[in-house]
Structure 1
Amino acid sequence: MTQVEINVLYFAAASTATGLSRERVPIPQNLPLAELGDLLVARHPKATTLRKILDGSKWSVDAEEVEDLETVLKGGEEVAVLCPVSGG
Structure 2
Amino acid sequence: MPEERVEINVLYFAAASTATGLSQELVSVTSGLRLADLGDVLVARHPKATALRKILDGSKWSVDAEMVDDPDAVELKGGEEVAVICPVSGG
The bucket for the TM-score relative to the shorter chain is over 0.9
2:75 matched residue in structure 1: 72
Residues 19-66 of structure 1: CA deviation (Å, up to 9, x unaligned):
000000000010000100000000000000000000000000000000
Give the 3-state SS of the residue equivalent to 2:89 in structure 1.
Answer: coil
2:52 to 38, 45, 50: 50
1:20 matched residue in structure 2: 22
For the aligned residue pairs, the C-alpha RMSD in angstroms reads 0.5
Deviation of 1:69 after TM superposition, in Å, equals 1.1
List structure 1 runs of 4+ shifted beyond 6 angstroms. Answer: none
Percent identical pairs in the alignment equals: 76
Give the 3-state SS of the residue equivalent to 2:71 in structure 1.
Answer: coil
**TM-score of the pair, normalised by structure 1:** 0.98
**TM-score of the pair, normalised by structure 2:** 0.95
Deviation of 1:68 after TM superposition, in Å, equals 1.1
Deviation of 1:87 after TM superposition, in Å, equals 1.6
1:34 matched residue in structure 2: 36
Q: Count how many residue pairs are aligned between Structure 1 and Structure 2.
A: 88
2:85 matched residue in structure 1: 82
* Structure 2: gaps spanning 5 or more residues: none
